[in-house]
Structure 1
């Protein structure tokens, strides 16, 4: 099989025993450094993507993928909005809702978001019915003035099923003695646990009709919540609805409502990737050192190759091939190690816990137990390209030095 001369010589240098064993040790350290950096990058980004996906799934299980609401006033024609939304094949479900900030009083006071829902339709847009740990959502019947609390919220209020709470809203109503805040007594009929602190500590749910009566909204609602077959199409669906609806409607999607959270998660992932890339950079610096020492060790060989007709460019390619192969070996080893480590991360975590008798992610502290991973092909490809680019750049200076070798000077003392 034909191979260009620089490639053949570069491969031979890679396989041949070195007179200076320290050079071989530095080359091995370069391979291990690059492999370690690639492994750490793949595993860390997979874990961070896993946490991001877990947070997103838990949040969107309770929040809407997209919403249609009125501009600063109750939405009266919400049934028309539901019809237009459900006509879109990308929409899986739609349900009306009312949301108001409230202060809930039990044994203690806690602020929370009070949400009015239709229990019969809520299952179309959220996982709330499946997250009930006490009671059922069906107990929120019109006129019962029952309320369902998040588990953490009930704990902070010091109440349980069967207790009464006082809900105070920011809305004022006129009375003969002046403006009075809207207050209503509700009975706790159920408790849910969504596994996401924003809802478990900050959400209370009542019947839609009961909240309409308390707020004197008539048949109006805050808006309509939508669940989509593909949450990643939320922006496109929201934009399409905004164009189809004829009226003063406001349309938003989950990427807008939670932009700061996901921007922060993305920034954290990016910063971590940059920091861990320094491990790969350290392997590349070791590669520069080993290649410079190799060039010094092979001065006589380079001079002989030059006298036999090898051009400076070909000499440069010899050492670029040899150094790049070290980078490729380290990158491939790192990719294999990273994939294996990511796939077995939870087993390793369980082994450490059983070996040392500790619980690294206790359930009473963390909502997420274990290490969720989401290894994305895009991340792996980017990591491989960055590692190979660093390894290639690291070969340029030693190869350039080799190309500048003067044959007469190198052979003078041989």
Structure 2
């Protein structure tokens, strides 16, 4: 195949497309459709990525990302923590203890998941420690029975730092002649954190040793280890490697057990939006088919003459493939440029237009990913190339004798 010849003729045909006004209109319509589809796909995908990243930070930064459970106490758990932090993808590990509890204030009662933490070890790992607006995690001291609540939970209980609440744990129940009695202690509220997500209404933190006393566990006995990962979405892949680090039988749980449905819904919504916008690109790409078919009909005589002069079938196919690809590339490059510019300036544009999507003073989360942009470009190129194959084959099958019979 003589590519340079096919490119030259295809380029000449592409420049002369205005000879057929209707075909020219369809081509402009197709290029505009590709431009709008690609731009919309880039903007929407970036916003959905930002939303997913925001949820990951606001929820998975406050809950255990991967937890190791053992039936028996873990021997030399400090050494195990050191080994685990050396694994790829693990940024930190510490002893863990948690319980589902009822929190009772003088005016209300609510349920929460209470985590026991070591503030000095988790201050740089737990995102909630950086979102405390009243108090500080350093005030969680063993034996003082202090607690830090989520903002929504504190509002529901109508408490503020300095108030006392009663914590009743479902673990460590004592059975008496009057029936089971839950373990309970009074805690002093010393801080309130706000992640801006549903965890604000369901989480509370106390010192690890105080949590063990509340649950009537043996002091210093560790049966759970909590791991922090550089990417929580890799928890399932890291779990088998973590299990192999223990000489005894252990099991693992991760954030998907409690919040997997939420992220699954976000992922499904992102995929459906991408599919819908991809259909716009597909419709625009196959409009190129209509324009090329009309061009093939218009240039049938020219093709027949070229074939009589020695132009091969592959050369003829190349002419119309190049002509359709040029239209696709123009629409694609324009769409990428418009989409990237809109994405990078989306919040400025909405503020200028006076549009508030999330409410006054809130910006849309935007995260433009190079890998996703690459897939959009490659997918659009493949889709448009497939759309040009049929007209190119039809042009290549032109029989010179039949086409020139009445010339």
> Greater CA deviation, 375-384 or 61-70?
61-70
In the other structure, the counterpart of 2:120 is 120
Aligned mates of 1:83, 1:405 — CA distance in 2 = 73
**How far, CA to CA, are the matches of 1:93 and 1:400 in structure 2?**
59
- Indicate whether 1:384 and 2:385 are aligned: no
What SS class does the counterpart of residue 62 from structure 1 fall into? coil
The answer (yes or no) to whether the contact 1:81–1:224 under 8 Å persists in 2 is no
Measured in 2, the distance between the counterparts of 1:352 and 1:261 equals 32
Distance in 2 (CA, whole Å) between partners of 1:51 and 1:19 is 48
The structural deviation recorded for 1:182 is 2.5
3-state DSSP class of the match of 2:116? strand
Q: What TM-score does the superposition give when structure 1 sets the normalisation length? A: 0.86
3-state secondary structure, aligned to 1:57: helix
* Partner SS state of residue 175, structure 2: strand
2:272 and 2:331 map into 1 onto residues whose CA distance is 23
Query: Residue in 1 aligned with 2:208?
Result: 208
Q: Specify whether residues 241 and 282 from structure 1 end up closer, same or farther in structure 2 by C-alpha distance, changes over 3 A only.
A: closer
Would the aligned equivalents of 1:11 and 1:322 in 2 still touch at CA under 8 Å? yes
Offset of residue 133 of structure 1: 0.9
Give the distance between the partners of 2:141 and 2:233, measured in 1 at CA. Answer: 34
Q: Is residue 55 of structure 2 the alignment partner of residue 62 of structure 1?
A: no
Considering only aligned residues, what root-mean-square deviation do their CA atoms show, in Å?
Answer: 2.9
Would the aligned equivalents of 2:140 and 2:147 in 1 still touch at CA under 8 Å? yes
Post-superposition offset of 1:191: 0.7
CA 1:246/1:166 → structure 2, altered by over 3 Å: closer, same or farther? same
Aligned residues: 403
In the TM superposition, what is the alpha-carbon distance from 1:147 to its structure 2 partner? Answer: 1.7
- CA displacement, residues 298-345 of structure 1 (integer Å, 9 cap, x when unaligned): 233233334434344433332222112211221122222222222222
8 Å Cα contact 1:75/1:221 also seen in 2: yes
Contact kept in structure 1, 2:33 and 2:280, CA below 8 Å: yes
Given the superposition, is the C-alpha separation of residues 8 and 59 from structure 1 closer, same or farther in structure 2, using an over 3 Å criterion?
same
Within 5 A, what are the aligned runs for 1:265-304?
265-304=266-305
Q: Which residue of 2 aligns with 1:374?
A: 367
Q: Residue 30 of structure 1 contacts residue 287 of structure 1 at CA under 8 Å; is this kept in 2?
A: yes
Contact 2:134–2:192, Cα closer than 8 Å, also in 1: yes
SS at match of 2:196: coil
Stretches of structure 2 lacking an aligned partner (at least 5 in a row): none
Match of residue 336 from structure 1? 337
Instruction: Give the CA deviation at 1:265.
Output: 3.3
Secondary structure class of the residue paired with 2:217: coil
Contact 2:3 2:315 in 1 (8 A): no
Unmatched runs of 5 consecutive residues or more in structure 1: none
Q: Quickly say closer, same or farther: Cα 1:173–1:42, change in 2 above 3 A.
A: same
Q: Which whole-Å CA distance do the structure 2 matches of 1:164 and 1:58 have between them?
A: 27
Q: Report if the CA contact (8 A) 1:315-1:402 is conserved.
A: yes
Cα 1:306–1:18, aligned 2, differ >3 Å: closer, same or farther? Answer: farther
